[in-house]
């Protein structure tokens, strides 16, 4: 069994807020990935864990034949409403991709593989559906000390029960370059790896909270600790990043790794 059932429940609670305020916060990372993947007409592209389709839509503007795939049905429903109608959006389990071997020229997983029950298996599935010579782009958090939003993630963790020993966290694939090690174990050749600056800039506190609360871990915190307590604690955690003009700004880095089959 994969991760779809649990993750879909958590991430599907505020799809409109995710699409409106949070999904574009990694846009510089998406742009870097596109510059290295070089998608275009006649190329088939799969985005695994596509969310509400922001990155898939960016790629579709190059003329590529794009499929967006996510385990969260509310995300896919939102994507169908908002994004290029030529994109094929499907719901399913990333650890059991419903595609034949060697179907796609390009595959991506943006902040998605770390939520798999078995990360290595999920990436092996991505490799399986990739054509020989095809490219895989994976985007994860940068180093914890380079990400101001890590303070918010730490606060979310304080609202959850203690994790079991060895449980992975948001930075699990970043620490010790675990992602790169998994890719190499799967005989994927790493072509590029870069930590890209991704500023999270919200116009005001209300929008910041809507964006930050739309993520699955925040939904899990609210379920565990209650809405009022969670909102109070999370609101306090944002205060150091509230600017005099009312904006909320986090300076972060996201790691973009491009590998070839």
Does some domain include residue 182?
Answer: yes
| SS3 state of residue 207 | helix
For residue 14, give the nearest of 238, 259, 220 by alpha carbon. 220
In-domain check, residue 46: yes
Q: Is residue 204 part of a domain?
A: no
- Is residue 120 situated within a structural domain? yes
User: What does the DSSP 8-state code read for residue 93?
Assistant: -
The SS3 assignment for 133 reads strand
Any domain includes 36: yes
Residue 157 lies in a domain: no
Does pTM surpass 0.85?
Answer: yes
Instruction: Quote the radius of gyration of the chain (alpha carbons, Å).
Output: 18
How long a stretch of residues is the chain? 261
Name the one residue in this structure whose structure tokens are 């991709």.
Answer: 97
Tell me, what's the pLDDT at 88?
98
**Beta pairing partners, 67:** 46, 88
Number of helices (H) and strands (E), helices first, in the chain?
11, 7
Among 213, 196, 203, which Cα is nearest to 252's? 196
**Which residue range forms the structural domain that includes residue 109?**
4-147+165-199+253-260
Is residue 155 domain-resident? no
CA distance 218 to 224: 10
pLDDT, one tens digit for every residue, the chain (261 residues): 456 666 667 677 899 999 999 999 999 999 999 999 999 999 999 999 999 999 999 999 999 999 999 999 999 999 999 999 999 999 999 999 999 999 999 999 999 998 888 999 999 999 999 999 999 999 999 999 999 999 999 999 898 887 665 566 789 899 999 999 999 999 999 999 999 999 999 999 999 999 999 988 888 888 889 989 989 999 999 999 999 999 999 999 999 999 999
In this predicted structure, what is the pLDDT of residue 80?
Answer: 97
CA distance 14 to 117: 23
- CATH classification of the domain holding 28: 3.40.50.150
Look at residue 167 in the predicted model and tell me its pLDDT.
60
Residue 229 forms part of a structural domain: no
Quick one: which of 70, 52, 68, 71 has its CA closest to 60? Answer: 68
What's the number of domains the chain is made of? 1
List, in sequence order, every residue forming a beta bridge with 110; answer none if it has no partner. 139
């Amino acid at each position: 069994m994969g991760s779809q059932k649990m993750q879909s429940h958590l991430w599907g609670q505020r799809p409109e807020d995710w699409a409106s305020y949070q999904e574009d916060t990694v846009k510089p990372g998406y742009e870097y990935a596109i510059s290295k993947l070089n998608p275009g007409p006649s190329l088939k592209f799969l985005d695994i864990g596509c969310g509400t389709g922001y990155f898939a839509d960016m790629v579709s503007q190059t003329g590529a034949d794009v499929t967006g795939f996510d385990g969260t049905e509310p995300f896919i429903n939102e994507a169908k409403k908002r994004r290029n109608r030529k994109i094929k959006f499907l719901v399913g389990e990333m650890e059991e991709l419903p595609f034949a071997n060697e179907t796609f020229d390009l595959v991506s997983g943006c902040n998605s593989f770390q939520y798999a029950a078995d990360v290595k298996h999920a990436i092996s599935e991505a490799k399986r559906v990739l054509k020989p010579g095809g490219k895989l782009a994976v985007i994860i958090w940068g180093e914890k000390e380079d990400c101001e939003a890590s303070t918010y993630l730490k606060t979310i963790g304080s609202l959850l029960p203690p994790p079991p020993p060895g449980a992975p966290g948001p930075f699990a694939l970043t620490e010790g370059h675990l992602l790169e090690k998994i890719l190499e174990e799967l005989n994927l050749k790493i072509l590029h790896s870069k930590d890209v600056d991704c500023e999270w800039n919200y116009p005001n506190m209300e929008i910041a909270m809507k964006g930050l609360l739309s993520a699955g871990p925040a939904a899990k915190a609210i379920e565990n600790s209650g809405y009022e307590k969670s909102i109070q604690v999370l609101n306090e955690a944002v205060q150091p990043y509230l600017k005099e003009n009312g904006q909320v700004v986090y300076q972060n880095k996201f790691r973009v790794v491009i590998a070839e089959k």
